[in-house]
Structure 1
Amino acid sequence: MARSPILFAALAAAILSAAPALAQSVGVSRCDRQEGAVFQPGLMTVDAAGTRVFHPVGENGLTESIVFNRDEAFAWVAGQGLFPAGTVFGDYDGYICGLPCEECAPEEEAEPQENHNGTTEDAD
Structure 2
Amino acid sequence: MLSQAADAVQGVREGRSLTELLARVPAELRPGTQALAFTALRRLGSAEVVRQQLAPKAPPARVDALLLTALALLWPDPDHPPAYTDHTLVDQAVTAAKQRAPASAAFINAVLRRFLRE
Task: Give yes or no for TM over 0.5.
Answer: no
Structure of greater Rg: 1
TM-score, length-scaled by structure 2: 0.27
Higher helix share: 2
